[in-house]
Amino acid sequence: MSEISIHSETQTNGHTTRRLETRHKLLEAGAALFAEAGVRAATSTAIARRAGVATGTFYLHFPDKHALFEELVDAALEEMRPQLDPERPGAGSDESMRRDLERMLEVAQRRRNLIRAVFDRGESSGLAERIQDRIALALAQRYARVFRERGIRLHPGAAAQARAALLVRVIAWWAEEPGRATQEEIIDVLMELAPGRVREGAQ
């Protein structure tokens, strides 16, 4: 490789690293401002200022504040994705379900400010509903299998929507004020109300 191409590659790698660092700063600044002021009140300019960059730099990375916010939410959902995978070993068992809920609540606790921003009553982007739909889509496969194996005559899609709505609402309620209930109490309630634990009377 020539000296010129090595130098060019080094410059490219350095530029990529700086770009990623700037994006990370913007995401951190956005998370902080959304927690403090809510999505509605936070502005792209304020996020850029908090990150220590020009407003124009913000728009090189994100088209608007909502795109940045959704990237933060996607990162949180990605942390929860393994717990929603219907094909992983043990999925659907009580032990697995409890472990999944523990991990989801750990993510919720770490991302508490983000969750509060998603469910901010002044925010009308419909993001909470889209999150619920994404969780329901992942759960529907699990319920289809569990219901088939147990001979439960319930619609898996409807059960998944019900479960996703319950998960999202309870986690949001808990994230607002974790002192309301212990993590163990939340898990016990969610376990008891899981469609996969339907008793014989519903078959």
HEC per residue, the chain: CCHHHHHHHHHHHHHHHHHHHHHHHHHHHHHHHHHHHHHHHCCHHHHHHHHCCCHHHHHHHCCCHHHHHHHHHHHHHHHHHHHHCCCCCCCCCHHHHHHHHHHHHHHHHHCHHHHHHHCCCCCCCCHHHHHHHHHHHHHHHHHHHHHHHHCCCCCHHHHHHHHHHHHHHHHHHHHHCHHHCCHHHHHHHHHHCCHHHCCHHHC
- The confidence score (pLDDT) of residue 86 equals 55
Q: Where in the chain is the domain with CATH 1.10.10.60?
A: 1-62
Phi, psi of 20 (to 5 degrees): -65, -40
State how far the alpha carbon of 72 is from the alpha carbons of 69, 75, 126, in Å. 5, 5, 15
Residue ranges matching CATH 1.10.357.10 in the chain: 65-203
CA 12 from centre of chain: 32
Fold of 1-62: Arc Repressor Mutant, subunit A (1.10.10)
What is the model's pLDDT at position 199? 43
**pLDDT score for 37:** 81
Nearest Cα residue to 81 out of 35, 122, 133, 134: 134
The set of residues, in sequence order, having a beta carbon less than 8 Å from that of 66 and lying 6+ positions away, is 39, 125
Which of the residues in the chain have pLDDT under 70? 1-15, 81-92, 120-126, 195-203
Residue 121 is predicted with a pLDDT of: 55
What fold is seen in the domain 65-203?
Tetracycline Repressor; domain 2 (1.10.357)
pLDDT of residue 90: 58
pLDDT for the residue 74: 83
Residue 103 is predicted with a pLDDT of 84
